[in-house]
Amino acid sequence: MNTFSIAIHGGAGTLVKGMMTSELEAQYKMVLKSAINAGYVVLENGGTSIDAVEKAVVILEDSHLFNAGKGAVFTADETHEMDASIMDGKTLNAGAVSLISGIKNPVSLSRDIMEKSEHVFLAGQGAMQFAKMNGYKIEEDSYFYDEFRHKQWLEIKDTDSFQLDHATKKDSKFGTVGAVACDKDGNIAAATSTGGMTNKKFGRVGDSPMIGAGNYANNKTCAISCTGSGEFFIRGVVAYDVACLMEHKEMSLEEASNEVINKRILEIGGDGGLIAVDAKGNIAMPFNTEGMYRASKSSNGEVDVSIYK
């Protein structure tokens, strides 16, 4: 039997010492543990990697601590616009959604786009129409409200600045969430979900819903979910770049992930991290920031739940 494994992240970013209380840290770790365990149980019971990554991301989306689903950051109009994507490394099927509001679990909508439509990427009003046709309930804005995110927004509203949730200097809250998994059959998958950046406008979309930039899976190489400064991750085609280094330069998962996060993306000014698995169940979780909320669990017995380096 193949080694099976799962890794998740809750965003990478700058930490300011003293802002993280031990109580808050415990809360983060508790949610990370429950998400990693839920995904792991799917794999343990012989479920698919795609089911495992969706399950884990739903739990992270349902927590107000992360910038995805409940607790998503505020746009310049004081609304929430969420992005998500999912990819199946066995079939290369993918689904992605952008600029949606009122959807409790954007990752599940991206999966429905993958499975129930002829398309890969739906955005805005059309995506909302597709969600309603498929029976999604539209939540009130109050469901997504988080006092901390609102404060972040109040500080920069009416200015031209955008704030990457993960780059905030004043606190330790990161945001975007993701999961990658390898199942017993050696099939891999990746999922990513985000509220994007605080005070964003003009229909700004980051890397998270873009297949190849913030999310990618191919059994031949790796499954990747990214977090960080989206504009740079798009230009660096980060997730696909890791896969390319493995395929064409025969790098290992660890080498390729490190090359992209600690060299290539840094060279163009990007900060952040990624989580990665390959079809043998190996895991890599590099980041070039001070911390990245992350967890991993593998059938070879390795378990890790960490925030800092």
Active site (catalytic) residues: 176
Q: How far is the CB of 83 from ligand ASP (least distance, A)?
A: 7
Does position 227 interact with ligand ASP (CB under 6 A)? The reply is yes
In whole angstroms, the minimum distance from the beta carbon of 273 to ligand ASP comes to: 9
Query: How many C-beta atoms surround the C-beta of residue 201 within 10 A?
Result: 12
C-alpha–C-alpha distance, residues 243 and 247, integer Å: 6
CA torsion, ordered 304, 5, 293, 268, to nearest 10 deg: 120
Which of 69, 228, 236, 291 forms a contact with ligand ASP (CB under 6 A)? 228
The sheet carrying 272-277 orders its strands as: 215-217, 223-228, 272-277, 283-284
> Which of 104, 100, 99, 175 lies closest to 140 in space, CA to CA?
104
Q: Which of these, 196, 197, 206, 199, lies nearest to 161 by C-alpha position?
A: 199
Instruction: Pick between residue 73 and residue 245 the one whose CB is nearest to ligand ASP.
Output: 73
| Site pattern 166..185 for ligand ASP (x: CB under 6 A) | x--------xx---------
Q: Which two tokens stand for residue 54?
A: 């969706």
Nearest CA to 233 out of 261, 258, 213 is that of 213
- What is the pattern of x (binds ligand ASP, CB under 6 A) and - over residues 5-44? ------x---------------------------------
| Least Cβ distance, residue 95 to ligand ASP (angstroms) | 18
- Which of 5/227 has CB closer to ligand ASP? 227
Q: Nearest distance from residue 74's CB to ligand ASP, in Å? A: 14
One-letter amino acid at 195 equals G
> Given the complex with ligand ASP, which of 146 and 165 has the nearer CB atom?
165
Query: What order of strands is seen across the sheet that includes strand 5-13?
Result: 121-123, 94-100, 82-88, 188-194, 177-182, 5-13, 291-298, 303-308
How many residues sit close enough to ligand ASP to count as binding (CB under 6 A)? 17
- CB 229, min distance to ligand ASP, A: 6
Pick from 71, 186, 206, 281 the residue near ligand ASP by CB under 6 A.
Answer: 206
H helix runs in the chain, sequence order:
22-44, 49-61, 106-116, 124-133, 141-144, 147-156, 230-235, 238-249, 253-259, 265-267
By CB atoms closer than 10 A (0-12, 13-18, 19+), residue 250 is: exposed
Q: Nearest to ligand ASP by Cβ — which residue?
A: 230
**Token output for 166:** 């993960």
49 touches ligand ASP (CB under 6 A): no
Minimum CB distance to ligand ASP, residue 203 (Å): 13
Binding to ligand ASP by residue 194, rule CB under 6 A? yes
Residue choice 106, 230, 286, 291 for contact with ligand ASP (CB under 6 A)? 230
Which of 106/230 has CB closer to ligand ASP?
230
Binding residues for ligand ASP, per CB under 6 A? 11, 164-166, 175-176, 194, 196-197, 206-208, 214, 227-228, 230, 233
